[in-house]
Amino acid sequence: MAFHSDTYPSGSGAVQRIAARTGEWLASLGRSVFIARAAEARVHEMERLMAKSDAELAEIGLRREDVARHVFRDILHL
């Protein structure tokens, strides 16, 4: 027995449009999760470096006031 539905008439493209929108939404969600994870990693790096003493920072060539610049150097271009 065949199933027939008039909800999405053949050739209307409605299913394709819904699939395309769903794909766009999922891609946007993926980008958002990626950005959030990257930000979280930077926060952890800041916390790790700020927990060091000034002497420990000096050993790795940093001053406390330069920690943020160091952590965000690839996106701030400072």
Produce one character per residue of 17-41: b if its CB has 16 or more CB atoms within 10 Å, e if not.
eeeeeeeeeeeeeeeeeeeeeeeee
Residue 6 in domain: no
Residue 1 in domain: no
Residue 24 in domain: yes
Provide the pLDDT for residue 26. Answer: 94
Q: What is the tally of structural domains in the chain?
A: 1
Domain holding 56, by residue range, is 14-76
Residue 9 in domain: no
Residue 54 in domain: yes
Q: What is the pLDDT of residues 41-76, one digit of tens each?
A: 999 999 999 999 999 999 999 999 999 999 998 887
Provide the pLDDT for residue 13. Answer: 85
